[in-house]
Amino acid sequence: MLKQQKRISTYVIVKVSGSSTERFLNLCRHRGIKFWNITANEDGFVGSITRTDFFKLKDIRSKTGMKIRILQRKGIRFLLFKYRKHYSFAIGIILACIILKLCSVYIWDIAFEGNVAYTDSVLLKQLKDISVTPGLMIKDINCDYIESILRSKYNNITWVSAEIRGTRLIIHIKENDSTVTEVENSTDGRDIVATENGVVTSIITRNGTPLVKVGDTVEKGQMLVSGVVPVHNDSGDTIGKYYVSSDADIYINTTLPYTDKLEKEYEYKNYTGRKTKYFIIGFAQNNFEIGFMPVKYNEEDIVTDTNVWKLTDSFYLPIVTGYKDVLEYETQLKEYTKEEAEQLLIKKFNKYIIDLSENKVQILSNSVTINEESASYLMNGNIEVNMPAYEYAQLTDTLQLTEINNK
Pairing of strands 228-232, 198-207: unpaired
pLDDT at residue number 329: 93
d(CA 390, CA 87): 75
Whole-number mean pLDDT of the chain? 84
Share of the chain above pLDDT 70, in %: 87
Q: How confident is the model at residue 317 (pLDDT cuts 50, 70, 90)?
A: confident
Please, are residues 43 and 18 in contact by the beta-carbon 8 Å criterion?
Answer: yes
pLDDT at residue number 335: 93
Give the residue, 98 or 285, on which the prediction is more confident: 98
Q: pLDDT tens digit string along 28-60? A: 999 999 999 899 888 889 999 988 889 889 889
- Three-state DSSP class for residue 129: helix
- Three-state DSSP class for residue 407: coil
d(CA 317, CA 106): 9
Name the least confident of 19-28, 81-90, 260-269, 397-406: 397-406
Question: What secondary structure does DSSP assign to 197-240, as a single string?
Answer: -EEEEEEEEEESEE---TT-EE-TT-EEEESEEEEE-TTS-EEE
Is pLDDT at 293 greater than 50 in this prediction? yes
Amino acid in the structure at residue 233: N
Is pLDDT at 185 greater than 50 in this prediction? no
**Which one, of 76, 69, 60, lies nearest residue 11 by Cα?**
76
**Which one, of 65, 76, 146, 70, lies nearest residue 112 by Cα?**
146
Is pLDDT at 339 greater than 60 in this prediction? yes
Report domain extents, the chain. 2-80, 109-175, 190-253, 258-264+336-386, 267-334
pLDDT at residue number 181: 44
Give the residue, 196 or 87, on which the prediction is more confident: 196
C-alpha 123, offset from chain centre:
12
**Which one, of 216, 127, 202, lies nearest residue 170 by Cα?**
127
Name the least confident of 70-79, 179-188, 228-237: 179-188
What pTM does this model have?
0.52
One fold for both 2-80 and 109-175?
A: no
Angle between helices 120-129 and 143-153 (to 10 degrees): 120
Give the residue, 365 or 407, on which the prediction is more confident: 365
pLDDT at residue number 191: 92
Using alpha carbons only, give the angle 337, 342, 348 rounded to the nearest 5 degrees: 130
Q: pLDDT tens digit string along 196-245? A: 999 999 999 999 999 999 999 999 999 999 988 888 787 777 778 888 99
Residue range 65-91: mean pLDDT, rounded: 75
Domain 2-80: give its CATH architecture: 2-Layer Sandwich (3.30)
- Three-state DSSP class for residue 378: strand
Q: pLDDT tens digit string along 347-379? A: 999 999 998 988 889 999 999 999 999 999 999
Residue range 114-141: mean pLDDT, rounded: 87
Please, are residues 60 and 31 in contact by the beta-carbon 8 Å criterion?
Answer: yes
Buried b (16+ CB within 10 A) or exposed e, 60-79: beeebebebeeeebeeeeee
Residue range 63-83: mean pLDDT, rounded: 80
Q: How much is the CA Rg of the chain, to the nearest whole Å?
A: 37
Burial of 265: CB neighbours in 10 Å, binned 0-12, 13-18, 19+: exposed
Q: How confident is the model at residue 167 (pLDDT cuts 50, 70, 90)?
A: confident
d(CA 225, CA 196): 15
Is pLDDT at 9 greater than 70 in this prediction? no
pLDDT at residue number 135: 83
Q: How confident is the model at residue 87 (pLDDT cuts 50, 70, 90)?
A: low
pLDDT at residue number 6: 42
- What CATH code is assigned to 109-175? 3.10.20.310
Highest mean pLDDT among 100-104, 357-361, 398-402: 357-361
Reading phi first (left if > 0) and then psi (alpha if -120 to 50, else beta), residue 135 is in left
Buried b (16+ CB within 10 A) or exposed e, 216-246: eebeeeebbbbbbbeeeeeeeeebebebbbb
pLDDT at residue number 98: 79
Task: Tell me, letter by letter, the H, E, C secondary structure of 22-81.
Answer: HHHHHHHHHCCCCCEEEEEECCEEEEEEEHHHHCCHHHHHHHHCCEEEEEEEECHHHHHH
pLDDT at residue number 1: 42
